[in-house]
Structure 1
Amino acid sequence: MKAKTTTPVALADSAGVDVYMKKLDHPLKDVLEALRKIILSADSGIGEHIKWNAPSFLYTGEMRAFDPKEYKRYVIVSNVFQKDCIRLVFPSGAKINDTSGLLSGDYADGRRLAFFHDMEEVAAKEEALKNAVKTWLAILDK
């Protein structure tokens, strides 16, 4: 018997993220906008929407059935609660085995973090960020 696949129904909402970004009052708004463009350009299967009160990036293609509490679709969740940096949370970042230095932390749940304090840091880490997204997609259980 073939494994059942699940297809997202309107998970991506770039228009909603655009509205969020227009209203966002954050000293590093330009950094978040640049990160958004980099992440979305990494692969056509990446979409975005607002989840956990910030832009989140997810795989929008078909996937095998899974427990929604595993959040397997999510590549990155942004965190804008600190004013001195934009934090990107990779819920399954440990699976990426990043050797570039982009991802940090050793959380038991497998998440890893990337920190961006200014546009220079965005430029310096752009390729590592794209590679992390592509690596995650390559190991995703679709």
Structure 2
Amino acid sequence: MAYDEVDSWLAHYDNPMRDVVQRVRLILLSADDRIEECIKWKTPTFTYKGNLASFFPNSRNHATLMFHHGALIPGKYPHLEGSGKAGRVMKIASIAEAEEYREEICDIVAAWIAWRDAAEQAKAAS
């Protein structure tokens, strides 16, 4: 895992949403030990058998987390926004809101891991 790389990125991240980004990061990483992080596309990205989510680093009024395949993750998640074929975003304006969304973020992580594992098992069986 690239914790040092992301820690370094955060140390140099000059944005009013830095503390919110850090809280969301910790929520994602605590959701499941299999979630890894790295810097990809010049921003923290969370992975498990593919790219789960990345921050939009230039958002200044809220932390914006882009779930690359959010529309495809099984389940309903009321705070995921968007209408495209794959991507969805979650906008989080404060640490309190991050805590309010914690359960939903953890549910998304669990659904992503189950979905990726099922796809891998199906591929191995064929």
**Interval of TM-score (by shorter of Structure 1 and Structure 2):** 0.7 to 0.9
- The match for 2:92 among 110, 113, 116 is 116
1:25-68 CA-partner distances (Å, limit 9, x unpaired): 11011101100100001111111011111100001xxx6xxxxx
> Number of residues paired by the alignment?
118
Amino acid in the other structure paired with 1:95: L
Secondary structure in structure 1 of the residue aligned to 2:61: coil
Q: Which amino acid aligns with 2:73?
A: I
Contact 1:102 1:129 in 2 (8 A): no
Classify 1:58/1:35 alpha carbon distance in 2 versus 1 (closer, same or farther; 3 Å).
Answer: same
- Unmatched tracts of structure 1, length 5 or more: 1-11, 64-72
Task: Tell me if 1:131 matches 2:107.
Answer: yes
Point out the structure with max Rg over C-alpha. 1
Shift of 1:99: 2.4
- C-alpha distance in 1, partners of 2:70/2:59? 21
> What is residue 93 of structure 1 aligned with on the other side?
70
The one of 67, 82, 85 equivalent to 2:59 is: 82
TM-score (norm 2): 0.88
Return the letter of the residue paired with 1:57.
F
Deviation at 1:13, TM superposition (A): 1.0
Q: Superposed, which structure 2 residues align to 1:51-62 within 5 Å?
A: 51-59=40-48
Q: Following TM superposition, by how much is the alpha carbon of 1:98 offset from its aligned partner in structure 2, in angstroms?
A: 4.2
Instruction: Provide the alpha-carbon RMSD of the alignment.
Output: 1.3
Give, in angstroms, the shift of residue 97 of structure 1. 4.2
Asked whether the equivalents of residues 56 and 78 of structure 1 are also in contact (C-alpha less than 8 Å), the reply is yes
Structural mapping, 1:59-74, within 5 Å: 59=48, 73-74=50-51
Measured in 2, the distance between the counterparts of 1:119 and 1:77 equals 18
In structure 2, stretches of 5+ residues that fail to align are 121-126
Name the counterpart of 1:25. Answer: 14
Q: Render the CA deviation track for 1:46-92: whole Å, top value 9, x for unaligned.
A: 11011111100001xxx6xxxxxxxxx11111112121111111111
* Alignment-mate amino acid for residue 84 of structure 1: N
